[in-house]
Structure 1
């Protein structure tokens, strides 16, 4: 593979074995020191400050482990066939020759981009077909800047594997110049940074939790100054709700305390959740109501069971029966109304099941809205907005939500849509129970 600098000026050789060995030793000593401090801090508590510290330690260890592996590869040279899933298998390289229109990929790059190793490497024109639609303009701009203006490439994009798995790839590269100074080819190193980004999100979410006010103990009245954002539910701090979204979805939720006294508010437990199903790519979206005087901590128990069943491989159609069976072994009453949706981004297929008589899933598309009914499955389109709500399923209530279609179609994000719904429901609230709303906007 050609040098990343120019066709007739080879790149400098890697530093000698001694200096690389020194870097490896320093990295391993630092990693050991960080790990020792992390282990000493394990008893720091489970509050927001403690979670943030542990997330930072985990992120630092992840980066140092990667650095150690990359330095070892620099010392030893590329392995003939890195073990699948290893650190070294997450780094690949490529060169695209502009004169012959040929592409040369390393073996690792096929796995990183979800391509069969026996297939033909994609050209620069074909490469965006692997990338999420919203990331394609950025990739095109990076490649154009490199080829036309001679700028180095340094950016990230998300690729979709054949099974629907979405991975984040960091790409660094340079133009390779011909003898007359024109661009002859483009060279790049691509790295799967999905796990690194997951660690960074954990740090961001735990840091943000430091600035959130503690959950309100008096849920009896809505604060008019915070209605637009909606109050956090009392069990909110126990969840890691995917604020960054799930593959193919932009997610947001709102919790509306009862417009009554605290005594009334405690009699029901409206809840929502969004989490991965067993394959990691399909997303479970769920809302429901948990009645009974023992429901103050009930939603937290139920959501824990929900996530456990999701991780164990339960499908949306199985949740009603399995949740009912689980609650029979607790002091909680059965779920009275709930909707369980599964969304698969590869096919944009939505399936759902229900318990009781909840508000049906509402779908908003192109400035209009309708309730999903009949068959418990649908195919969504980019830009669609799905709304789940735990309120009364009476026709006037559903019609009220559907009347927001035009305003929701103009919302820039799921969070903007959640604000619109929360404000509207708060202004017209007559219920003496709490409520939740969960919105999912299809992004690709």
Structure 2
């Protein structure tokens, strides 16, 4: 980024706070300097063109100079042209035959070149194309680059031209490319500066004042240094252009076709060169002393400016797009990235000196200012600068205004007061607050713009007095605000009052905080206050209160439901207080409800002795919790017992229970179940399961899970397939029936849980008793229980009792 200033010493007192010069005003100052130089230059240009056109008219009509000027004026009025435009058009219609033969004086007072002996007489009599349309087009040409494009558009169909180059002849004798068309930018840059050497065709044309016709590339290459990409242009013409007493520019016409220019083409090109003279004088080729004086005058203005500024001229591509800017003038405070300042920057490219400013969006802002004429001002940006050895951050703004065909760009450094004001504005915006002040002596009221926004009040309506502030609040909130203001005015008490106002966007919650400023006698003379928008916070508070209320209500409902479900479960599923004997087995029962949540689960068991002396054991788990789960548990428990007691097989009972769950009026979902029937005479345990974990067998100090027969959980399929499994027990055997709450843990596979249970059973082989399951359950159920746990512990006595 281009430094905005060069820091060499402590700035003068008050210099930082002094306002930077207005960019538009600066542009006007420079414009006045340029306007005077342009006025003088235009007068000289008009005089030169008028003299040439008068000379042509005198030759054609044989009239006097005054009559020639009157004739030109009459033609201009008849055609609706200006006198200058009519002069250009008259010069454009000039033909070589009218310019006289060798030795005759041309309208410009110069001897015409002698006719070449090898021209064909018949071709010499051909009339060149009408140059009137070209003269009209030249009226709209503003730069040498535009002139090159205009000439190529005209000459391409007339003489098969493929490219046009325009060189200016500088005082030191070198050439500078000022316009080109049909030539790529790389080649143009390579040939932009041509030193005053021999063997340069355009230089020879300028030195002699005669065109140079290069019509044989191989022959011409031996004599001249050609601008010649391999095989591209095989013939070319260089035509000197007189803009003053002698030639100042040279127009090159390059063709890809080989062979000589016809006499008609030569005459046409010479007429075009004469037609370009007046236009080049006004747009690009000026007397060098005049150009130097103009540049010096502009630079003198910039030398006197106290702030960083540059005058930029656009550098365009072949299609007219701005690719860079040339620095034509700069102040001493404008410093580039390598420390060059002021006059050292003149003539250099803007991208080279200030690369950081050549990025979006600032670069686009400069282009828009140049194209539309609307001044541009960038967003503030920070720059680190060293002042007396200390690094300090300064904020800058870039401003640009169009001046003629260029731009005046200035850097404005914001002082500490500007930064404080910006910070205060940011604070009000980010904090959704604004400040207000009431002077009780002068009755002056001052509000920041944010206060108007908070009250949704048009700034054109002005602020309101302190005592009128309650009138802006809702009627129910006004009295509290009125009382607070009265206490502040009477007793000087600071207040902090919330209130509401109605805006176009709806109800807005505001907070007013104000304090009194007393005089030496203690009387309040001024009030300073802050108004803050609390709508978002208030909305969040109300939403939180409603959420808490809903949670408490739901918690009460769930607590009541749990109590009811617990009572119902206890009534339906009474727990024995000590081990019981069924069909010769010692049976321990454990039921532990979940510790998390407020719902009662659907785990259940049943252990009864059948009429034929066998024992029936069931352990099940209904999906879900609450009253529905308890109801489904009761239905399955009692129905299963009834089916088995009345003679149903275990698999038949499971199939009917599945149908019952599917066709229930209020189906609760699914359930798992294990049914086991024990024959004491044969010590035979027959069992079936529906999606339930398998029973665990402990025998002779070893544990294993019984092989699960096929069986799908209840309520999952309309055509389930259930099978029975058989296990013969021996004295001392121990069988555990349990629900999945005993072995399942979050994030752990069921296989890992089953292994933990097997290991725990091996570690707790105490004699049966009322607390025999306690150590086992304690080791399995570490931490908080998230599900109910139900266990049946069946033990075969070691000795017959």
TM range, smaller chain: 0.3 to 0.5
- What TM-score, normalized by structure 2, do the two folds share? 0.25
- What TM-score, normalized by structure 1, do the two folds share? 0.43
Larger radius of gyration: 2
Q: Which has the higher contact order (CA 8 A, sep 6+)?
A: 1
